[in-house]
Amino acid sequence: MKNEKESLSLPKKLIAPIKSFLERELISLKRLNKNLKTEDPFSSETRASENSFEDDLDEQIGHFDNEYKRKFLAKQMVQFRKALTRIKIGRYGICEKCGQMIDTDRLAVKPEATTCVKCSKENE
């Protein structure tokens, strides 16, 4: 006899389109990250070593903004990969903290969610 946690799962017909969506979004995030990498002012081949104060400040701000966006994208990509892994092992839609089902409304809004609202709030 299976215990309650082992019997929790979402229907496969519901998971298939979610998996496709997550895979497409992950590819899009990777592409965006690559573009951001090339747009970083510090990676420019035409970057002058001696800028005016204003130009140097613009480069610093542009680099900081770029790094911030790339770190955010990296976190998003990790979440998407975790969700795809959970689909693969048959644990998608089950909170990785408490083991209860994640509300389908939450998954509809944030398909990469791996924790329920209650556990997510506890982590904040």
pLDDT digits (tens, 9 = 90+) for 15-38: 999 999 999 999 999 999 999 998
Whole-angstrom CA distances from 4 to 21, 66, 97, 99, 108 are: 29, 45, 15, 10, 24
Q: In the chain, where are the structural domains located?
A: 11-92, 93-124
| pLDDT tens track for 74-96 | 999 999 999 999 999 999 999 99
pTM equals: 0.78
Share of the chain above pLDDT 90, in %: 63
